[in-house]
């Protein structure tokens, strides 16, 4: 296929050049109705292609023209049979693939470190999660992937599960032996869904781990905006084989997508695909070399550690993405969150995320030696500024992620159950009706239906004490949690299974 073409972006440019008189939304009408300061900052070119699904520009909900052609080019670039563009981010793509294969009551095997979007889709679908514990790295305080053996055991216990969802790579860049995993799961006639949010470049360089499509997965949600050069909130859903009906997948994607689709986001996917298909290997090669040199220099800084090749073969890790720099601060007397704030204040550097003992920095297609040298200089200063200070009497070390607590109710039933708000201490032993997670990365500590255990509460309190962004509960102060009420409301009964109010 001719990957120099950008069918959608070209059509948008031609349409704008024709300067049609518009009697349709958006109301800013090529920027003339927009706030002048915003218009000046954004620019007339961007506003001129902020359009809607008029006939010459095709319709994302039923693509048959330039959007369909752009998606076909993307499928060829990513090694998929079909690629669907998402303007709902990878969250929309993840929800689509899960809800395409699961109906109410269906079981799906999930890793414990699944993203909030996956577990939200479980609630929307009415599915039943079967937890698989990922391998824990006690030194770094992070979780890697699940192993083939733990997945095989889950399949034996739950042979009627509709699918297995895998996270590959993890937020921190570690990968499982994906091809082996796919072959094993397919041998049990289950679909393989992959959260590939942080793996856009995998398909475009042979020094990177294997992509989901290369491994033969059935569907993979890939965040092109995270690492592939498109605009924030633009992603793709790649589909391969016939275990999932592409017609069903398209229908589900349409149900979950706004009818006012952003052509700016769609055009950015079209052009990002062109760049990756034509120049992805060279761009990825430069990015890998930058990251590896940064890793080498970080590991020469006293009391800092950034894992590399030695991670392979440990904790179920088969491979890793070298462009992710997980910088461990365990020998310094400050938390990752404090290091994040220090880097921001002292060097105007923003990191991807911080944990109790780590910061994560991403090296992408947009980086040069200028940025990586600034990071190294800042980290050397950080080490010098804190390295000789005494460790606190009670050092906040890597927190052991607690094992998933049991479900007392199916997630959907708990989410719709009549609830009451109680204090954190009083919530122990109760069944939660909302999410609790640290964002980023957005992996729930608790989801609706789980029993709140003392271990889970300790983990939450440790993150709150460190100032990390604990989110999810309706109470913004995170001092109260919603739990299943001990008694039904007096005036009416609530059928959480159907979601309808049943009068007395």
Task: List Cβ neighbours of 139 (8 Å cut-off, separation of 6 or more).
Answer: 328, 330, 398
Tell me if 70 sits within 8 A of 270, measured CB to CB. yes
- Please tell me whether residues 377 and 427 are part of one structural domain: no
Domain CATH code at residue 449 = 3.90.105.10
Residue 458 lies in a domain: yes
Measured CA to CA, the distance from residue 256 to residue 254 in angstroms comes to 5
The pLDDT value recorded for residue 402 is 79
- Please tell me whether residues 382 and 291 are part of one structural domain: yes
- Please tell me whether residues 376 and 420 are part of one structural domain: no
> What is the chain's pLDDT, residue by residue, as a tens digit (504 residues)?
999 999 999 999 999 999 999 999 999 999 999 999 999 999 999 999 999 999 999 999 999 999 999 999 999 999 999 999 999 999 999 999 999 999 999 999 999 999 999 999 999 999 999 999 999 999 999 999 999 999 999 999 999 999 999 999 999 999 999 999 999 999 999 999 999 999 999 999 999 999 999 999 999 999 999 999 999 999 999 999 999 999 999 999 999 999 999 999 999 999 999 999 999 999 999 999 999 999 999 999 999 999 999 999 988 899 999 999 999 999 999 999 999 999 999 999 999 999 999 999 999 999 999 999 999 999 999 999 999 988 775 555 566 677 888 899 999 999 999 999 999 999 999 999 999 998 888 889 999 999 999 999 999 999 999 899 999 999 999 999 999 998 766 544 433 333 333 333
The pLDDT value recorded for residue 36 is 97
- Please tell me whether residues 336 and 382 are part of one structural domain: yes
Q: Which of 336, 352, 386 represents a domain boundary (last residue)? A: 386
Backbone Cα Rg of the chain: 24
DSSP 356: S
Q: How many domains does the chain have?
A: 2
Sheet strands (E) in 124-252: 128-132, 136-137, 142-143, 163-167, 174-175, 191-195, 219-222, 235-239
- Please tell me whether residues 378 and 439 are part of one structural domain: no
Residue 153 lies in a domain: no
Measured CA to CA, the distance from residue 294 to residue 327 in angstroms comes to 11
Measured CA to CA, the distance from residue 402 to residue 383 in angstroms comes to 30
Measured CA to CA, the distance from residue 215 to residue 199 in angstroms comes to 13
The pLDDT value recorded for residue 439 is 87
Q: Which of 386, 420, 439 represents a domain boundary (last residue)? A: 386
Q: Which domain holds residue 498?
A: 411-503
Residue 448 lies in a domain: yes
Q: Which of 370, 386, 402 represents a domain boundary (last residue)? A: 386
Residue 72 lies in a domain: no
Burial pattern 257-270, b for ≥16 Cβ within 10 A else e, equals beeebbbbbbbbbb
Residue 367 lies in a domain: yes
Structure token pair of residue 126: 């009415």
Name which of 42, 41, 36, 46 is nearest 12 in CA terms.
46
Residue 336 lies in a domain: yes
Measured CA to CA, the distance from residue 351 to residue 349 in angstroms comes to 7
- Which secondary-structure segment (H or E) carries 411? helix 411-415
- Please tell me whether residues 433 and 466 are part of one structural domain: yes
Residue 369 lies in a domain: yes
Residue 460 lies in a domain: yes
- Please tell me whether residues 361 and 420 are part of one structural domain: no
- Please tell me whether residues 377 and 292 are part of one structural domain: yes
User: How many alpha carbons fall within 13 Å on the CB side of residue 191?
Assistant: 23
Cα-based torsion angle of the residue sequence 178, 225, 14, 21 in order, rounded to the nearest 10 degrees: 130
- Please tell me whether residues 347 and 382 are part of one structural domain: yes
Domain CATH code at residue 361 = 3.90.1150.10
Predicted structure pTM score: 0.93
Cα-based torsion angle of the residue sequence 109, 114, 120, 122 in order, rounded to the nearest 10 degrees: 0
């Amino acid at each position: 296929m001719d990957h120099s073409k950008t069918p959608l972006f070209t059509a948008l440019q031609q349409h704008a050049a024709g300067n049609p008189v518009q009697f349709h939304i958006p109301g800013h009408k090529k920027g003339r109705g927009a706030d002048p300061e915003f218009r000046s900052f954004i620019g007339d070119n961007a506003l001129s292609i902020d359009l809607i699904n008029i006939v010459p520009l095709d319709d994302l909900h039923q693509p048959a023209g330039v959007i369909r052609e752009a998606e076909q080019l993307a499928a060829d670039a990513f090694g998929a049979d079909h690629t669907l563009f998402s303007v709902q981010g990878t969250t929309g793509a993840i929800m689509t693939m899960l809800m395409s294969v699961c109906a109410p009551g269906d079981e799906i095997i999930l890793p414990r470190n699944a993203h909030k979007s996956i577990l939200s889709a479980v609630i929307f679908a009415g599915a039943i999660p079967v937890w698989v514990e990922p391998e824990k790295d006690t030194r770094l305080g992070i979780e890697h992937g699940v192993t083939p053996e733990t997945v095989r055991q889950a399949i034996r216990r739950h042979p009627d599960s509709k699918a297995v969802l895998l996270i590959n790579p993890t937020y921190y860049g570690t990968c499982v032996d994906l091809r082996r995993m796919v072959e094993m799961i397919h041998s049990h006639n289950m679909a393989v869904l992959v959260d590939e949010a942080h793996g856009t470049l995998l398909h475009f360089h042979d020094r990177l781990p294997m992509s989901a499509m290369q491994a033969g997965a059935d569907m993979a949600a890939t965040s092109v905006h995270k690492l592939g050069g498109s605009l924030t909130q633009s992603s793709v859903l790649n589909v391969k084989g016939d275990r999932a009906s592409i017609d069903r997948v398209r229908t589900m994607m349409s149900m979950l997508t706004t009818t006012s689709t952003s052509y700016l986001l769609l055009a950015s996917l079209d052009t990002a695909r062109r760049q990756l298909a034509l120049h992805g290997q060279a761009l990825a090669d430069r990015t890998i070399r930058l990251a590896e040199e940064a890793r080498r220099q970080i590991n020469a800084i006293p009391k800092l550690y950034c894992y590399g090749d030695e991670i392979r073969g440990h904790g179920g890790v088969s491979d890793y993405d070298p462009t992710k720099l997980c910088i461990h601060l365990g020998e310094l007397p400050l938390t990752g969150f404090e290091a994040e704030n220090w880097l921001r204040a002292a060097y105007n550097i923003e990191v991807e995320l911080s944990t109790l003992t780590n910061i994560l920095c991403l090296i992408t297609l947009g980086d040069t030696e200028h940025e990586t040298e600034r990071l190294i200089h800042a980290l050397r200063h950080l080490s010098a500024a804190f390295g000789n200070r005494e460790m606190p009497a009670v050092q906040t070390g890597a927190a052991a992620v607690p094992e998933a607590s049991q479900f007392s109710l199916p997630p959907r039933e708990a989410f719709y159950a009549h609830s009451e708000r109680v204090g954190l201490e009083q919530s122990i032993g109760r069944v939660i009706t909302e999410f609790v997670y640290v964002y980023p990365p957005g992996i729930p500590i608790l989801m609706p239906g789980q029993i709140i255990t003392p271990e889970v509460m300790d983990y939450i309190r440790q993150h709150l004490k460190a100032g990390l962004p604990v989110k999810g509960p309706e109470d913004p102060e995170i001092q109260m949690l919603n739990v299943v009420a001990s008694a039904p409301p007096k005036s009416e009964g609530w059928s959480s299974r159907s979601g309808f109010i049943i009068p007395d």
